[in-house]
Amino acid sequence: MTADAASAAASAPAGAPGGPARGPRARTGASYLRYGAGKVGGAAVSLLAVLLTSFFLFRLIPGDPVKYMTGGRQVSAEQLAAYRREFGLDLPLWEQFTDYCRKALTGDLGTSYQFRAPVIDKITEALPNTLLLTGTAFVLYTALGILLGTRSAWRHGGLGDRLNTGLALTLYSIPSFWLGLLLIIVFSVGMGPVPGLFPTGGMESGGEEGFAYVVDVAHHLVLPVVTLVAVDYGQTLLVTRSALLDEMGSDYLTTARAKGLRDDLVRRRHAVPNALLPTVTLVFINLGRTVAGVILVETVFSWPGLGGLFYQALSVPDLPLVQGLFFVFAAAVIIMNTLADLIYPLLDPRVGR
């Protein structure tokens, strides 16, 4: 997986069209706009494809969706027909489809079977919680990965490097949900000498106001964030490390040393900024993995976010909700990738102009 993502990161800029060299002003203007428009257009097509996929994929399900709604209870034929009408399942497939597309464009993703509430409401309700969890973890694991990756590469082959890489690879191979469960056993339930330090799940204890509320949420946030960071920082570390190793033999570093710069300045001012370029793309691509991690971590820690909602929807299965969340997850990753594509040429003038 590390190698895949790295190569994906490497191939992304390579796929960008290299425009003819013009004056610096012309390059920053029209050509970048054209490049950006291409990327945004591609993303729009991808989003449309996701919308279509999520419609047809979840119509493939064998059996009658109404059966899931009634949960195996005995219901009369009239009631079943009423359910079908309520969710528009009595219409022919193509009518369901045009209906779906029209509603999706206005932000209506259907009605959840189990909550009897609009899917979009459930999603907007859970979204801030997921953003809080993912955002915190994202910032932390990116910073940690870059920091440790830089150190590892600068002293590569040494004991510190081998420990660092070994630990990163090990944590990378651990299933996130398992790590979460272990952390709960040790730090929430308490084990041996360790008392229960952190709450076992949820996002708040309830009843707190103001600053106490913030502290309470932060307290609940610790274990899920630790889990996500532990599982996800390895990839950033490995890519930063190999990107920096690629730069290590470069002439410009020798020049920098020759003019008398301290080792530490050579690293911070010269090597790292160049090595970070491929890492930027990867950081965004990594979000795809984080989305998967969030589903599991939220499930394990009963975090009231999109991932936990996805798990609840799966166990029914509550098709409109699964479908809506599938779209949200895919859209998040597509948008992040497009952002990476848009930012990259601004950072690295060799690409995409």
Partner 1 sequence: MTTEATPPPDATPPTDATPPVAKDGGGGGAGAGPRALARQRRLRSVLRFWRQYRTHRAGLLGLAALVLFALTALTAPLTVGSDVAGVTGAPGRPLESPSGEFPLGTDRFGRDLLGLLVWGSRVSLLVGLLAAVLSVAIGALVGITAGHFRGAYATVMMRITDWFLVMPTLVLAIALATVMSRSLGTIVLAIGVTSWPTTARLVRAQTLAVESRPYIERAKALGGGHWHIMSRHVLPNVMPLVLAQTTLMISSSILAEATLAFLGLGDPTVVSWGGLLQEAREAGAVSSGAWWYLVPPGVAIAVVALAFTLCGRAVESVLNPRLGVAR
Site residues (CB under 8 A) for partner 1? Answer: 1-5, 7-8, 11, 42, 46, 49-50, 54, 57-58, 60-62, 156, 166, 169-170, 172-175, 177-179, 181-182, 184-185, 189-191, 200, 241-242, 245, 288-289, 291-292, 295-296, 299-300, 310-311, 314-315, 317, 322, 326, 329-330, 333-334, 337
Residues in the chain: 353
What is the three-class DSSP state of 141? helix
- φ/ψ of 280, rounded to 5, equals -60, -50
Residue 341 CB, nearest approach to partner 1 (Å): 10
- Beta bridge partner(s), residue 132: none
DSSP at 191: B
Question: CB-wise, 68 or 213, nearer to partner 1?
Answer: 68
Residue 61 CB, nearest approach to partner 1 (Å): 4
Q: Which of 52, 70, 61 is nearest to 113 (CA)?
A: 70
Residue 319 CB, nearest approach to partner 1 (Å): 9
Residue 173 CB, nearest approach to partner 1 (Å): 4
Q: What count of Cα atoms within 13 Å lies in the side-chain half-sphere of residue 193?
A: 0
What is the three-class DSSP state of 104? helix
In whole angstroms, what is the distance from residue 133 CA to residue 294 CA? Answer: 8
Q: Token digits for 91?
A: 């219409």
Whether 99 and 109 have beta carbons less than 8 Å apart is answered as no
Question: CB-wise, 256 or 300, nearer to partner 1?
Answer: 300
Residue 2 CB, nearest approach to partner 1 (Å): 8
Question: CB-wise, 64 or 208, nearer to partner 1?
Answer: 64
Question: CB-wise, 8 or 280, nearer to partner 1?
Answer: 8
For 52, 99, 190, the CA distances from 45, given in Å and listed in that order, are 11, 20, 50
- Beta bridge partner(s), residue 111: 118
In whole angstroms, what is the distance from residue 225 CA to residue 211 CA? Answer: 20
Whether 282 and 235 have beta carbons less than 8 Å apart is answered as yes
Residue 63 CB, nearest approach to partner 1 (Å): 10
Residue 278 CB, nearest approach to partner 1 (Å): 13
